[in-house]
Copies of this chain bind each other. A is one copy, B any other.
Amino acid sequence: MIAGIDIGGTTSKIGLVLDGRVLRQTRIPTTGHADDHAFAQALATAVRSLLADEGGGSLEAVGIGAPNANQFTGIIEMAPNLPWKHDVPLARMLQDRLNVPAVLGNDANAAALGEWRYGAGKGYDDLLVVTIGTGVGSGFIVNGSLLLGSAGNAGELGHMTLAMDGRPCTCGRKGCLEAYVSIRGMRQTYAELANDLDLLKEEGVKCIADAAHAGDRAAQRTFEETVHWLAVGLANAVAVTGPRRVVLFGGIVRSGDLLLAPLKKAFHSALLNIYQGRVDLTVSALPDDDAALLGAAALTTIPMKIRK
């Protein structure tokens, strides 16, 4: 059995994974702990409690997916959305507490591994997985391995610049894909198109989708623009790594008629001719509740490569 842990900004999920299935899961708050050691302790306690509920069984390893995680060092590096502003060596902290090997990885890479091992990317040696939520994350499988890059931080498709002098992004630069395609980006597009900045804070993607279905033109155009930017961003990623399949994950991509259907069309017309017919686009096949845990568990299947 492998323990999968998914660290989120407010809540962290912990699950026991066996043969690509989540046997049992729980969650604890990410915030409110005395310090990072207390948080690591709470995670370890949760793992032990799940094991006890499962009636024992042997734990092989721990896989942890987190924002701003460095796969090479096992450290969460100055994550802007987590309570700790210093480096947190969470892999080592859990390894010490649970006495099994622990691997820490970027949450988007974890999602990619989860899709590759257990989901819609199974059997694809060249794969791109894009998760769309508050931000946009991505993980690339190339030549049958996770693409980590020289410093363990490759795969930041969300921060590909698409609009010169475009919208400010949370990263401090301008015109990133994420500034247009994420939940935050769609909300901003809607507020701009509807000419009502109050919408910026209120509207979820579900509300925008409902409005689009009810005939609201600004909401419909919000989806059209989102599709446009995402199609170009995906086509650009294909031109670099040449995947056979692209898998999308996240609530937004479930808006089928508003997003996926037009996206497939826009993606294929955005592709360079040599990739036409050689790459398909699909959505995650994993249950929403389990995906992050399966991905975190899948991190343990790749070697940690600590480099200087």
Residues of A within 8 A of B (CB): 77, 124-126, 140, 142-143, 145, 147-157, 159-164, 171-173, 228, 232, 235-237, 239-244, 270, 272-275, 278-279
Contact = CB atoms under 8 A, between A and B. Distances in A.
A154 B240 contact: yes
Contact of A241 (B154, B232, B275): B154
Given A148-B143, A149-B142, A273-B171, A154 B236 contact: no
Contacts of A273: 171-172
Contacts of A172: 273
Contact of A243 (B149, B152, B162, B232): B149
A143 B143 contact: yes
Nearest to A143: B145
A242 B164 contact: no
A148 B240 contact: no
Nearest to A158: B239
A149 B242 contact: yes
A8 B126 CA distance: 30
A223 to B, nearest CB: 17
A149 B239 CA distance: 9
B143 A147 contact: yes
A243 B148 CA distance: 9
Nearest to A149: B242
Contacts of A145: 143
B242 A240 contact: no
A156 B273 CA distance: 11
Contacts of A77: 274
Given A143-B148, A151-B242, A156-B274, A161 B236 contact: yes
A124 B149 CA distance: 11
A240 B160 contact: yes
A275 B147 contact: no
A235 B154 contact: no
A147 B124 CA distance: 15
